């Protein structure tokens, strides 16, 4: 029976005994370094935001790499990039049922602002190299294999996340997001057409059905490292909500307006943010709440702020805890706004339910780890992932590798080459099983 955080003790160091041809030392690290040059910033970070220049250059460079590695690249209208290794026979004939649909692996190409080089990128690079490896040693699969470089997951540019997987699965259409604005006031539809995508420019998203989606990703936390464990088999992905909270007051003179007469939007927002932290601490782990951004208007040192807007991100693996904490936060915000003579507006721009991963694929990953003598544990994911969206469309699973010191969304994000290789090995095995054996 699989239990969360159930570490399987493994004597000695991890080793492989693959009956697949010995995995040559794959240049995973070199390819990750190469990909990180697209959007590299001056402080060693990576900033690749949906449809910006670095994003475009990276996606087109990956398409070229796919061709060089024997895959057939294609873009869809959202800018998701697919690299296909077709089966011997024609696939995707609906009469043959789900068994004929492609097995897909991959992750997202976008990053947070000033992020690291592994988040998302690892799953894409490993997927391309895995398909190249399988093709080289075993020829064409019985069942089509595909790697996808998803256009967006982070929600870093527009107040909307998981656009890549949501567009593929048909959960969201371009019509629903076209008017969203980024921080510079550029609309989603301007950005997508500027990057060369949009209606009639590429394959139709959701045009195909998947047999399974498998995402290889860095853990972004410290569970694996603390347990000296090589592979995390994700049991569930946290539910999360993201809000934009706007507090409105009145601009006034900093010298002549007595403290008690003010309608100070920024001071009210500050009280609300302190309350967010208090509620989160009282709720206890694994509940987390983050205010990562705040802006004030007019944003002048000697003027009482007329308006303050802050972000709020809350997460938990249970829906009822999310509901309860949000209600408590909202009541507290309303009380503070009332006391300070402010107006409160809020907008929920993301709501993703906690999502369990597919049991059967988890079991297959566990068996591969046991056969390969790679230590593993079953664990929830505190980060959001595209797999959360895919799970509603097809059987989906995630494989984690350790993140050094659990640091992520930071240029210091790091995973050792040995850990990258372990994840790669498990992915190759799994794709071999689904593509060539089953
Ligand atoms: C995505 O990386 C998230 O969990 O914020
Ligand atoms: Mn991320
Ligand atoms: Mn990610």
- Is the distance from CB of 115 to CB of 416 less than 8 angstroms? no
* Residues 274, 189 within the same domain: no
* Residues 59, 205 within the same domain: yes
Check whether 95 has a pLDDT greater than 90: no
Structure pTM? Answer: 0.87
Q: How close is the Cα of 161 to the center of ligand 1, in Å?
A: 9
* Residues 216, 95 within the same domain: yes
Domain count, the chain: 2
* Residues 347, 246 within the same domain: yes
Predicted local distance difference test score (pLDDT) of residue 101? 87
Check whether 120 has a pLDDT greater than 80: yes
* Residues 359, 430 within the same domain: yes
Check whether 91 has a pLDDT greater than 50: no
* Residues 344, 208 within the same domain: no
* Residues 231, 284 within the same domain: no
* Residues 324, 404 within the same domain: no
- Binned at pLDDT 50, 70 and 90, residue 96 comes out as very low
Q: Is 384's C-beta closer than 6 angstroms to any atom of ligand 1? A: yes
Check whether 299 has a pLDDT greater than 80: yes
* Residues 94, 209 within the same domain: yes
pLDDT tens-place string over residues 214-235: 999 999 999 999 999 999 999 9
CATH of the domain at 318: 3.30.70.360
CB atoms within 10 A of CB 3: 8
Atom of ligand 1 nearest to the CA of 313: 5
Q: Identify whether 99 is part of a domain.
A: yes
The separation between CA 130 and the C-alpha centre of its own chain, rounded to angstroms, equals 20
Per-residue pLDDT averaged across 133-152, rounded?
Answer: 96
E strands present in 132-223: 145-150, 212-218
Q: Among 165, 286, 384, 398, which is best to mutate for testing ligand 1, by the most ligand atoms less than 8 A from CB?
A: 384
Q: Identify whether 430 is part of a domain.
A: yes
* Residues 156, 42 within the same domain: yes
Per-residue pLDDT averaged across 59-78, rounded?
Answer: 97
Per-residue pLDDT averaged across 184-188, rounded?
Answer: 97
* Residues 168, 285 within the same domain: no
Tokens, residue 188? 């989603």
Predicted local distance difference test score (pLDDT) of residue 25? 74
Low-confidence winner among 16-20, 124-128, 252-256, 393-397 (lowest mean pLDDT) = 16-20
Q: Identify whether 303 is part of a domain.
A: yes
- Binned at pLDDT 50, 70 and 90, residue 94 comes out as very low
* Residues 121, 244 within the same domain: no
Q: Is 402's C-beta closer than 6 angstroms to any atom of ligand 1? A: no
Say which residue the tokens 């296909």 belong to: 84
- Binned at pLDDT 50, 70 and 90, residue 208 comes out as low
Q: How close is the Cα of 385 to the center of ligand 1, in Å?
A: 7
Structural domain including 145 reads 15-237+354-437
Q: Average per-residue pLDDT in the chain?
A: 92
Rounded CA-CA distance 228/298 in Å is 50
DSSP one-letter code for 436: I
Predicted local distance difference test score (pLDDT) of residue 42? 87
Atom of ligand 1 nearest to the CA of 220: 2
Among 218, 130, 155, 228, residue whose Cα is nearest residue 398: 218
Predicted local distance difference test score (pLDDT) of residue 146? 96
């Amino acid at each position: 029976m699989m239990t969360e955080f159930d570490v399987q003790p493994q004597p000695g160091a991890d080793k492989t005994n693959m009956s697949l041809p010995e995995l040559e030392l794959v240049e995973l690290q070199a390819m990750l370094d190469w990909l990180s040059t697209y959007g590299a910033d001056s402080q060693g970070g990576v900033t690749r935001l949906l449809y910006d220049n670095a994003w475009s250059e990276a996606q087109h460079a990956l398409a070229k790499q796919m061709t060089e590695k024997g895959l057939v690249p294609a873009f869809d209208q959202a800018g998701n990039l697919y690299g296909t290794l077709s089966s011997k026979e024609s696939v995707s004939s609906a009469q043959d049922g789900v068994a004929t649909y492609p097995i897909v692996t991959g992750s997202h190409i976008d990053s947070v602002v000033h992020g690291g080089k592994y988040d998302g990128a690892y799953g894409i690079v490993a997927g391309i190299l895995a398909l190249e490896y399988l093709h080289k040693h075993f020829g064409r699969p019985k069942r089509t294999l595909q790697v996808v470089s998803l256009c967006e997951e982070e929600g870093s540019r527009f107040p909307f996340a998981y656009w890549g997987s949501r567009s593929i699965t048909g959960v969201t259409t371009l019509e629903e997001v076209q008017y969203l604005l980024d921080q510079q006031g550029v609309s989603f539809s301007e950005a997508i057409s500027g990057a060369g995508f949009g209606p009639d420019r590429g394959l139709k998203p959701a045009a195909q059905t998947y047999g399974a989606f498998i995402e290889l990703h860095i853990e972004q936390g410290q569970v694996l490292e603390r347990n000296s464990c090589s592979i995390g088999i994700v049991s569930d992905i946290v539910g999360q909500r993201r809000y934009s909270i706007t507090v409105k007051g009145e601009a006034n003179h900093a010298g002549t307006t007595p403290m008690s007469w003010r309608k100070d939007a920024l001071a009210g927002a500050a009280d609300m943010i302190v309350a967010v932290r208090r509620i989160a601490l009282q709720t206890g782990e694994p509940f987390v709440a983050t205010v990562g951004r705040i802006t004030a208007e007019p944003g002048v040192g000697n003027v009482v702020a007329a308006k303050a807007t802050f972000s709020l991100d809350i997460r938990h693996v249970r829906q009822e805890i999310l509901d309860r904490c949000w209600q408590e936060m909202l009541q507290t915000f309303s009380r503070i706004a009332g006391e300070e003579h402010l107006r409160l507006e809020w907008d929920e721009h993301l709501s993703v339910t906690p999502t369990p991963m597919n049991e059967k694929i988890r079991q297959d990953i566990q068996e591969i780890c046991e056969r390969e003598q790679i230590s593993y544990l079953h664990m929830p994911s505190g980060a959001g992932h595209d797999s959360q969206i895919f799970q509603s469309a097809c059987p989906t699973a995630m494989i984690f590798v350790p993140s050094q010191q659990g640091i992520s969304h930071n240029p210091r994000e790091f995973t050792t080459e040995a850990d990258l290789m372990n994840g790669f090995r498990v992915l190759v095995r799994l794709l071999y099983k689904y593509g060539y054996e089953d």
